Amino acid sequence: MVGLAILRCRHHRRYDERMTGRWRGSFYMAAVCVRTLVAMTVVCVLLLPLGFGLSDSQWNAAGTGLLLVAGLAFLGGGLPLVALVLTRTDWAGANTLLDRPGDDGPAPRVTEPRTLVRPLAYTAVMLTLGGAAAVLVSLLVVGAGVALVTPLLVGVGDQAVIGPFTITTIPQSLTSAGLALVLFAALGIVAPRVARMHASFAVQILTRPEQRLHRDLSTTSRSRSRLVRAFDVERRRIERDLHDGVQPQLMSVSMALGLALDEMPPDAPGREDVLRAREQAGRTLETMRRFVRNIHPQVLTDHGLGAAVKELADSLTLSVATDDELGPRPSTDVESNLYFCVAELLTNVAKHSGATRAVIRLSRPDAHHIQVSIHDNGTGGAGARRHEGSGLDGIADRAAAFGGDVIIDSPPGGPTLVTVTVATEGEEHD
């Protein structure tokens, strides 16, 4: 019974959604038809001076020329305004129907004629093909509306005229009313599909290529940022699993072997094997700890980026000074991202630069960005040694995922200064 009730609820929900879509599509098409007819009326008014000048023979040459000039001036000044109003209203309606944000809409400006090309082209299509369709639909709707009331008119002894047809009898009126109902039902079925087609057409023709490119780039940037965040979240999950699961088990094994070793006499058979096993367990435990720190150090979670970078610097053989001027902790994602950037850069310094000392500076150049700079006295040439898929490419990808960049100043002979800047996105640490 519960399953049947759920199926009924889902069925009713889908039915409600279909009906809502039909009503939305019908209202959308009605609004488009009204706007198109109004635009056609305004354009016809703008064409009146031209019509008078071309058709009225009472005017002399000067009067006709004046009317033509005035008509062209009215048309040239009024048509862009008609296009502006029509495109903006149709754009808003199309995005509402398609559930789009609509932040990449047309922005026509009189001072930039190229921005008027798409609105004028859309208006030309709507005033010709769209106008013909709007007039046809309007005639059909008005005729069907009259047909619906013909039984009342004929019942009181009157007659109804619908185009070339004259309805005078009850059977004719009932037939016309039935056909009107069929027509309204057909329009209700077709309207949602036609509405979506028109909305897609409006969005396609009114969206400028640079706006579409900007939207695609923004989508790609957000997707890359989500991938980096998901990767760091998975890192933290693996670190917790190893820290809370495997590491305590290895420690337990090492302690058990130590207790067993204490119970064994010095000359007991197999003592050396147990001793080697305990030493191997200790080395494995230490390797596991280093591995866990490389995945996601616990100090980064507990004390923040500055403390994690200092711990990382202390593990290197060269002298590394740290200048932490961050202040409030940024978001967890930003901290994790910058930490692994610093880790990769310090690895490059230790392996390739030949430096004996380095300085790490953490700062906020403004309220919305965090900057990490690493300066070393090595041989330089970091940019020249860069190749596709290198660690520097990975750092650049991480910075770009958070709206930042990487600047490398590394002339041959040194020194080297690498600056990583990322956006904080207004998120503070939990």
The rounded distance, in Å, linking the Cα atoms of 147 and 161 is 9
Locate tokens 């008609």: which residue?
A: 82
Sign of the alpha-carbon dihedral angle for 303, 372, 367, 210: negative
| Interval 58-89: pLDDT, tens | 656 666 677 677 777 777 777 888 888 888 88
| Interval 345-396: pLDDT, tens | 888 888 877 888 888 999 888 888 888 898 888 888 776 555 555 667 778 8
Determine what percent of the chain is predicted with pLDDT higher than 70.
74
- Residue 218, pLDDT > 70, answer no
* In contact, 316 and 350? CB cutoff 8 Å: yes
Q: Higher model confidence: residue 38 or residue 227?
A: 38
| Interval 304-324: pLDDT, tens | 888 888 888 887 788 888 888
| Interval 274-310: pLDDT, tens | 777 877 877 777 776 666 666 667 777 778 888 888 8
Q: Across all residues in the chain, what is the average pLDDT?
A: 77
Q: What is the DSSP string of 111-153?
A: TBGGGGHHHHHHHHHIIIIIHHHHHHHHHHHHHHHHHHTHHHH
pLDDT of residue 202: 87
pLDDT of residue 21: 66
Structure tokens at 279: 């030493």
The rounded distance, in Å, linking the Cα atoms of 342 and 394 is 12
Residue 426 confidence class, pLDDT cut points 50, 70, 90: very low
Sign of the alpha-carbon dihedral angle for 246, 249, 254, 255: positive
| Interval 123-137: pLDDT, tens | 888 888 988 999 998
Q: What is the DSSP string of 299-353?
A: HHHHH-HHHHHHHHHHTSSSEEEEEE---S-B-HHHHHHHHHHHHHHHHHIIIII
**Which residue, 305, 294, 290, 418, is CA-closest to 355?**
418
Q: Higher model confidence: residue 81 or residue 229?
A: 81
- Residue 227, pLDDT > 70, answer no
| Interval 157-198: pLDDT, tens | 787 778 777 888 888 888 888 888 998 888 888 888 888 898
